[in-house]
């Protein structure tokens, strides 16, 4: 297993995610990916090279800068040039920074905002557009202690599974960010990572991560 350093956005991850869920547009462009699952409050660089997705990024930069990442389902290869099947739950992200290369490709830094569920799709663009329902990851005050305990256990387990040359997430991250950075970057099959994204709270995600690592 390897863990790459993730970039988190704030020390108030849950408040930020809740606010993002309230302000997310009802329709956003979809960026289907075969091997990337984005998590709230975590940033990830992406290379955009297909013409349809270069157009998607150009349109997003003129507007809200928001695109939704979704994981392609297994067996998508035969339909990749069209509209292959995707998982219903994805993560909306905001383009924090970008560079357009001389050949027209983009390099973007996408920060996860909040999870969402795809309700329907519109085909008026060359890229995919979807009506979505945001899914706010709310954390009750009485759950903060349990999350902190799970975060400590997760940190302990990471030291037992990471190679010597791999760094764990920044210990200065708050509990929710620590869990999401781990979920996004820890080596595992993407369908398993998708299951973590679909957990109904960061507390449930932390519990699932700990249970997975304790079985190693």
Considering the domain delimited by 7-135, tell me its CATH architecture: Roll (2.30)
**Predicted confidence (pLDDT) at residue 33 exceeds the cutoff of 60:** yes
Place of tokens 């994204």: 197
pLDDT band, residue 139 (cuts 50/70/90): confident
Domain boundaries, the chain: 7-135, 141-214
In sequence order, what are the residues at sequence separation of 6 or more whose Cβ sits closer than 8 angstroms to the Cβ of residue 74? 191
Which segments within 23-177 are labelled E, that is strand? 27-33, 42-48, 66-71, 89-100, 106-122, 128-135
pLDDT band, residue 121 (cuts 50/70/90): very high
Q: State mean pLDDT over 24-49.
A: 95
Burial 95-106, CB ≥16 within 10 A → b, else e: beebeeeeeebb
Q: Are strands 27-33 and 89-100 parallel, antiparallel or unpaired?
A: unpaired
DSSP string, 92-116: EEEEEEEEE-TTS-EEEEEEEEEEE
Rg (CA), the chain: 17
Two domains, one topology: 7-135 and 141-214: no
- Which tens digits make up the pLDDT trace of 50-105? 999 999 999 999 999 999 999 999 875 556 566 789 999 999 999 999 999 999 99
Encoded tokens for 40: 């709230």
Backbone angles phi, psi at 198, to 5 degrees: -80, -5
Task: Work out whether the CA dihedral 25, 30, 31, 33 comes out positive or negative.
Answer: positive
H or E stretch at 210? helix 202-214
Residue-averaged pLDDT of the chain: 88
Question: From 2.50.20, 1.10.3470, 1.20.58, 3.20.14, which CATH number describes the 141-214 domain?
Answer: 1.20.58
User: Among residues of the chain, what percentage have pLDDT more than 90?
Assistant: 71
Confidence (pTM): 0.86
């Amino acid at each position: 297993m390897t863990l790459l350093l993730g970039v988190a956005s704030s020390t108030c991850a849950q408040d930020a995610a809740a606010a993002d869920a309230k302000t997310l547009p009802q329709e956003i462009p979809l960026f289907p990916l075969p091997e990337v699952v984005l998590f709230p409050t975590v940033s990830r660089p992406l290379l955009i090279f297909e013409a349809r997705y270069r157009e998607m990024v150009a349109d997003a930069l003129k507007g809200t800068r928001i695109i939704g990442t979704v994981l392609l389902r297994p067996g998508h290869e035969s339909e990749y040039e069209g509209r292959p099947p995707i998982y219903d739950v994805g993560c909306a992200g905001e383009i924090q920074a970008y560079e357009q290369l001389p050949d027209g490709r983009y390099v973007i830094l996408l920060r996860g905002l909040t999870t969402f569920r795809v309700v329907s799709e519109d085909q008026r663009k060359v890229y995919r557009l979807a009506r979505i329902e945001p899914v706010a990851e709310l954390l009750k005050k009485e759950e903060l202690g349990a999350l902190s305990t799970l975060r400590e256990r997760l940190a302990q387990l990471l030291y037992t599974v990471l190679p010597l040359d791999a760094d764990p997430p920044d210990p200065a991250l708050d509990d929710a960010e620590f869990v999401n950075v781990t979920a996004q970057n820890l080596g595992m099959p993407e369908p398993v990572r998708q299951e973590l994204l679909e957990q109904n709270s960061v507390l449930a995600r932390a519990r699932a991560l700990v249970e997975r690592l304790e079985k190693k």
